[in-house]
Amino acid sequence: MRDNHVRLPHGDRLRGVSPVLVAHGTRNPHGVNVIAEIAEAVGARIGLTRTAFVDVLGPTPSEVIADLDRPAVLVPAFLASGYHVRKDLPEHVALAGRPDTVVTRALGPDPAIAAVARLRLAEAGWEPGDAVVLAAAGSSDESACGQVYLAARQLESLIGGRVEVGFITTAQPSVPEAIERARRSGRRVVVASYLLAPGLFHQRLETYGADAVAAPLGPDPRIVDLIVTRMRAAISPYRRTSVARLV
């Protein structure tokens, strides 16, 4: 049932769906809380927004959407469209037996995310002229890695300098390799965390020898706006969609 404190106008297509924010999952309580904060902020805009996780903890997307009384719109809280977005989510939709489910685009890359990343850099002590490494989770999906490079270019446009890319796992170059490359400039090296919430991956960033590490993106209002935008775009009557399609 939709949150009674939110009154969407008649004709708003979000009145007819159940929003679900799908994250990776983490054993870090603070990371879980950040996802909950984001979902709560989205809910304050459009009504009750549930959370689900594809790994580590539950509930899973299939468990959440199986019992809903209206079609779900799943928003992957991922910064690139890798394995979890392209494979896991459609499988969860099929497992739940809910072909009326719509899966939106992943959150990133997007200029709004680049703006939040720049803010986190400034909070960490970055100054113009410092070398920057954008640290992402990594994926075996080449297109997902390519999206991280696009995110780096978007961040470059905001800070006015080169941004190296490093991956925490799976893909190359690794974050330590990217930091070493950036260090050759003789400048301070600051890591921009291309992660939504704290967890094991962000903890690793603190061990790689950078001069400063920015916080994860977190529940910034621009992230909340982006999630709502993804939902509205996915259910727009002007977008041609198919059952459980990644739109």
Residues 229-245 have pLDDT tens digits of: 999 999 988 765 443 44
Give the list of residues 6+ apart from residue 142 with CB closer than 8 angstroms, or none. none
Q: How far apart are CA 29 and CA 34, in angstroms?
A: 9
Within 10 A of 83 (CB to CB), how many other CB atoms are there? 14
Residue 66, helix vs strand vs coil: helix
Query: 84: pLDDT confidence band, cut at 50, 70 and 90?
Result: confident
Q: How far apart are CA 181 and CA 175, in angstroms?
A: 10
Query: Is the CA virtual torsion 22, 24, 29, 30 positive or negative?
Result: negative
Within 10 A of 56 (CB to CB), how many other CB atoms are there? 15
Query: Is the CA virtual torsion 154, 157, 158, 162 positive or negative?
Result: positive
Residues 14-54 have pLDDT tens digits of: 999 999 999 998 889 999 999 999 999 999 999 999 999 99
Q: E strand or H helix at 20, and its extent?
A: strand 18-23
Could you tell me how many residues make up the chain?
Answer: 247
| pTM confidence score | 0.91
- Please list, residue by residue across 94-112, b when 16 or more beta carbons sit within 10 angstroms of its beta carbon and e when fewer do: eebebeebbbbbbbbbbeb
Strands 18-23 and 212-213 come out as unpaired
| Strands of the sheet with 18-23, listed across from one edge | 50-53, 18-23, 72-76, 102-103
Residues 153-173 have pLDDT tens digits of: 999 999 999 999 999 999 999
State the pLDDT at residue 239: 66
